[in-house]
């Protein structure tokens, strides 16, 4: 495969070579072409879904249809305000249904997974202990700084993860409130974690559990009730709804007992002056308690639209198609001896469409830059905001500091970062096939262009 022979194609029309698998869902930008440094243009292969997935065309169309009717939420008597309020609250019900929440659960709209987990961190009861594996994304690893945190070493099997957590919970002193935070699918390896088993272990030891579903919800159905998790957090921008909203859904008690995440209008039910000149506030006990300010109704509606679109498309078909893509990538990379795929649980572990790897003899930033500049393929390189995990998988000191996404060596030099390819419901076969062919060609023939480091990034040298 030559970088010069790629032709722009209508990827919406490209279907899986496997007849049992459905066609990719239409996404925004599927026909965008980008220039190649070697000349010509090619349809862009967006293979960085784990960072942000493109908007589903359905989501974009729904948002565009609603936009002329946009109005303030919970604040106006006018028709557009009432319509927007209904849309906002109906979106809450749609998300609750998508997650199979319990009847008494609250769905709080936030800005992102990071925001959701920081909200929960602010709502922890006094003396709560938090247990989190070092393998977590920083959004799950870092919000608990004001609590007593136990960081658990990276397990090498799902069974070891459960056993490690059980030991830590059994040994905790004092035996008070506790929270376990765990990912559903790794943003580095794509491997699925034993969430149901970890939830059972947490509850057996009097602890609660929050699921970071940022990488799970776009790929697999998620049931709060079946997994028996207490809370779940995810982001719209990974669920094909990149309009600045996220979700925290789950049990109401800790959220109701906590001070509002933000103080302001919307969170307050009544506000009155006291005789001494101060102010008395009665806060809402509903989800509105933690939704102060004018809500991002478009972002919220886009999440609800994505939930409906994925549900209607059918996760059985989406999962089957993604497994086909995963097999294409993993089998292709296995044919290149210089490529090492990163894994915690081994080759047979179930996973979503997220694969990280390193290439012998290549700086990862250099390799990613060549994929982009010479093949029109967008992947990610770096530590993926999961520094301890990537360091552990690369066999380096997990305590070594590094900047997210920044290369640490010049092109051609070894670097302690990796390359990540990720895909999902909108990815056509041609994109992953082009990626596999490009990896093989780069390893065999090297880059056709020279590269240099500029502002912490490896870029084509156009001088």
| Catalytic positions, written as ranges | 385
Q: Any idea what DSSP says for residue 32?
A: -
Contact partners, residue 19, CB within 8 Å, separation at least 6? none
Can you tell me the distance from the alpha carbon of 260 to that of 24, in angstroms, rounded to the nearest whole number? 41
Can you tell me the distance from the alpha carbon of 427 to that of 406, in angstroms, rounded to the nearest whole number? 26
Q: Any idea what DSSP says for residue 262?
A: S
Neighbours of 79 (CB within 10 A): 10
Contact partners, residue 343, CB within 8 Å, separation at least 6? 189, 191, 349, 393
Burial of 13 (0-12, 13-18, 19+ CB in 10 A): exposed
Angle at which helix 429-445 crosses helix 364-375, to 10 degrees, equals 120
Can you tell me the distance from the alpha carbon of 402 to that of 198, in angstroms, rounded to the nearest whole number? 30
Q: Which of 400, 401, 444, 393 shows the shortest CA–CA distance to 419?
A: 393
Angle at which helix 79-98 crosses helix 297-313, to 10 degrees, equals 40
- Cα torsion 253, 256, 262, 263 to 10°: value is -170
Q: Any idea what DSSP says for residue 12?
A: G
Q: Are 255 and 224 in contact (CB under 8 A)?
A: no
Q: Tell how far CA 415 is from the center of its chain.
A: 25
The greatest distance separating any two alpha carbons of the chain, rounded to the nearest whole angstrom, comes to 80
Can you tell me the distance from the alpha carbon of 252 to that of 107, in angstroms, rounded to the nearest whole number? 9
Q: Which of 215, 267, 234 shows the shortest CA–CA distance to 115?
A: 234
Neighbours of 4 (CB within 10 A): 12
E strand segments, 103-145: 106-110, 129-133
Can you tell me the distance from the alpha carbon of 26 to that of 10, in angstroms, rounded to the nearest whole number? 11
Inter-CA distances, 384 with 47, 262, 310, 333, 394, Å: 14, 29, 26, 20, 13
Q: Are 137 and 386 in contact (CB under 8 A)?
A: yes
């Amino acid at each position: 495969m030559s970088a010069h022979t790629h032709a722009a194609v209508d990827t919406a029309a490209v279907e899986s070579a496997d007849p049992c698998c459905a066609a990719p869902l239409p996404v925004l930008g599927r026909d965008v072409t980008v220039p190649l440094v070697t000349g010509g243009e090619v349809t862009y292969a967006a293979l960085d879904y784990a960072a942000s997935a493109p908007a589903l065309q359905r989501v974009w169309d729904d948002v565009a249809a609603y936009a002329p009717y946009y109005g303030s939420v919970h604040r106006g008597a006018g028709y557009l305000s009432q319509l927007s309020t209904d849309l906002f609250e109906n979106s809450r019900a749609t998300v609750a249904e998508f997650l199979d929440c319990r009847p008494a659960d609250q769905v709080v709209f936030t800005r992102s997974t990071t925001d959701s987990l920081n909200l929960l961190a602010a709502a922890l009861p006094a003396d709560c202990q938090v247990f989190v594996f070092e393998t977590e994304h920083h959004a799950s690893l870092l919000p608990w700084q004001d609590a007593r945190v136990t960081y658990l070493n990276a397990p090498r099997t799902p069974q070891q993860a459960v056993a490690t957590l059980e030991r830590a919970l059994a040994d905790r002193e004092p035996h008070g409130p506790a929270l376990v935070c765990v990912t559903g699918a790794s943003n580095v390896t794509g491997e699925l974690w034993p969430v149901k088993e970890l939830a059972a272990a947490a509850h057996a030891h009097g602890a609660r559990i929050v699921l970071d579903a940022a990488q799970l919800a776009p790929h697999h159905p998620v049931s709060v009730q079946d997994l028996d998790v207490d809370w779940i957090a995810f982001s719209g921008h990974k669920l094909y709804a990149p309009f600045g909203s996220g979700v925290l859904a789950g049990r109401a008690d800790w959220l109701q007992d906590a001070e509002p995440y933000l103080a302001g209008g919307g969170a307050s039910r009544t506000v009155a002056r006291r005789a001494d000149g101060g102010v008395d506030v009665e806060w809402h006990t509903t989800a509105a308690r933690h939704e102060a300010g004018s809500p991002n109704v478009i972002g919220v509606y886009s999440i609800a639209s994505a939930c409906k679109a994925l549900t209607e498309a059918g996760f059985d078909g989406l999962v089957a198609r993604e497994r086909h893509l995963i097999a294409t990538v993993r089998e292709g990379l296995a044919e290149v001896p210089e490529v090492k795929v990163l894994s915690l649980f081994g080759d047979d572990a179930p996973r979503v469409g997220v694969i990280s790897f390193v290439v012998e003899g290549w700086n990862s930033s250099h390799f990613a830059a060549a994929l982009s500049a010479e093949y029109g393929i967008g992947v990610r390189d770096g530590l993926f905001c999961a520094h301890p995990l990537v360091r552990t998988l690369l066999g380096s000191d997990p305590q070594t500091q590094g900047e997210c996404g920044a290369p640490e060596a010049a092109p051609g030099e070894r670097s302690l970062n990796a390359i990540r390819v990720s895909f999902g419901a909108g990815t056509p076969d041609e994109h992953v096939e082009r990626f596999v062919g490009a990896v093989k060609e780069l390893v065999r023939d090297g880059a056709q262009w020279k590269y240099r480091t500029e502002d912490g990034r490896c870029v084509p040298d156009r001088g």
